[in-house]
């Protein structure tokens, strides 16, 4: 983080505003910048005001980061599935425009490769030959694919998961319901890969970071929020598996429902605090977080049904992750 901040700082220069007419001012731009961008008198430049009140000066050709055509060729013969996934993830994060996957047994491996590609937003299979599959990367970083925007999408998905899980208390939870929960899980994992990619791009492009109104500290926070949302998502998956085999008429279900509603309320509270950057409400939540945990510990100790205990333990873990998210905001 400090390396990029240093690089960005040495490019900064100080200029004085010069009065120009009755209602405007002018400022001279560095001659090296003019020459590097091949500008001349009369060339158009763009002034972009950020949400923080700063002005970013750019050429018309620099609105988007310049992308060079790059290709990564992965020979997956002799690799196991985990190794293939790792190689694909690295190619995705390094922003290769084209990924060519080669194998003597491409037909036999195509099902797994298609499944892997579907885990990444922006990747599309363009062509399959006798011994290769060509994948194109259509990813482009803008405000919609910035980490903070993606985090909001993950918040919505986890909120939808909570609503879906809550149907257990009225009608039970079937295998079909769990399959629906799996869809939310896959969406979150795709989005988390996209956050990793966007964060890397932004760290390598300080001016782009400024353009989408973020900074190193916010990127660090957003990455931690995303990791925590993934952990919460994992607990929801475990909870869903438990609910499939649990009778919603069990005598202890009412107590489980009370704890579930408390988790649901606190999830919405923490997400709202992060979205609004509300430090006061965050501190208020943290003051009561220990009390919530104590209530859950006491409830779990008094439960008899092992499956209900397992479900309640998942809720307690979610509460712990919510507390972590709240602490992250205060860092």
pLDDT confidence of 67, banded at 50, 70, 90? low
Residue 291: the pLDDT is 82
Contact 139, 122 (CB under 8 A): yes
Contact 91, 99 (CB under 8 A): yes
Query: For residue 292, which of 329, 317, 325 has the smallest C-alpha distance?
Result: 317
Residue 6: the pLDDT is 33
Q: Which class is 2-62 in CATH?
A: mainly beta
* 22 vs 242, more confident: 242
Least confident of 8-17, 201-210, 304-313: 8-17
Q: Which distant-in-sequence residues (6+ apart) come within 8 Å of 12 by Cβ?
A: none
- State mean pLDDT over 185-201: 91
Q: Which class is 143-330 in CATH?
A: mainly alpha
Q: What are the extents of the domains in the chain?
A: 2-62, 71-137, 143-330
Question: Cα separation of 104 and 111, whole Å?
Answer: 15
Contact 160, 223 (CB under 8 A): no
pLDDT confidence of 2, banded at 50, 70, 90? very low
pLDDT confidence of 331, banded at 50, 70, 90? confident
Structure tokens at 10: 């040495």
For the stretch 98-115, pLDDT in tens is 999 999 999 888 889 999
Contacts of 27-36 with CB under 8 Å at 24 or more apart are 29/57
Residue 213: the pLDDT is 84
What are the distances in angstroms from CA 194 to CA 29, 89, 155, 201, 303?
36, 10, 15, 11, 41
pTM reported for the whole predicted model:
0.72
Structure tokens at 158: 């986890």
Query: Which residue bears the tokens 């009065």?
Result: 19
Residue 230 has pLDDT above 90, yes or no: yes
- Cα 164 to the chain's mean position, in Å? 22
Residue 49: the pLDDT is 60
Q: Which class is 71-137 in CATH?
A: alpha beta
């Amino acid at each position: 983080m400090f390396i990029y901040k240093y690089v960005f700082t040495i490019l900064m220069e100080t200029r004085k505003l010069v009065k120009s007419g009755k209602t405007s001012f002018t400022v001279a731009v560095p001659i090296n910048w003019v020459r590097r961008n091949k500008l001349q008198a009369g060339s158009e430049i763009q002034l972009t005001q950020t949400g923080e009140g700063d002005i970013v000066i750019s050429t018309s050709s620099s609105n988007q980061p310049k992308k060079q055509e790059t290709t990564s060729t992965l020979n997956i013969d002799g690799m196991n599935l985990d190794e293939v996934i790792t190689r694909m993830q690295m190619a995705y994060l390094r922003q290769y425009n084209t990924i060519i996957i080669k194998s003597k047994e491409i037909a036999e491996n195509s099902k797994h490769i298609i499944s892997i590609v579907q885990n990444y937003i922006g990747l599309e299979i363009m062509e399959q030959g006798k011994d290769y599959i060509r994948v194109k990367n259509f990813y482009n970083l803008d405000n919609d694919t910035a980490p903070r925007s993606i985090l909001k999408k993950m918040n919505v998905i986890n909120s939808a998961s909570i609503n879906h899980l809550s149907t257990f208390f009225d009608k039970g939870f079937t295998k079909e319901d769990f399959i629906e929960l799996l869809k939310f899980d896959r969406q979150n994992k795709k989005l988390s890969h996209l956050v990793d990619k966007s964060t890397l791009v932004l760290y390598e492009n300080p001016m782009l970071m400024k353009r989408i109104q973020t900074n190193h500290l916010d990127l660090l926070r957003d990455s931690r929020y995303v990791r925590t949302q993934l952990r919460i998502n994992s607990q929801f998956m475990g909870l869903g598996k438990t609910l499939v085999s649990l009778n919603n008429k069990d005598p202890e279900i009412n107590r489980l429902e009370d704890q579930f509603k408390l988790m649901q309320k606190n999830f919405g509270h923490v997400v709202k605090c992060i979205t609004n950057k509300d430090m006061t409400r965050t501190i208020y939540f943290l003051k009561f977080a220990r009390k919530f945990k104590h209530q859950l510990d006491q409830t779990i100790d008094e439960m008899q049904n092992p499956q209900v205990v397992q479900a309640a333990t998942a809720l307690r873990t979610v509460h712990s992750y919510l507390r972590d998210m709240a602490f992250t905001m205060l860092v």
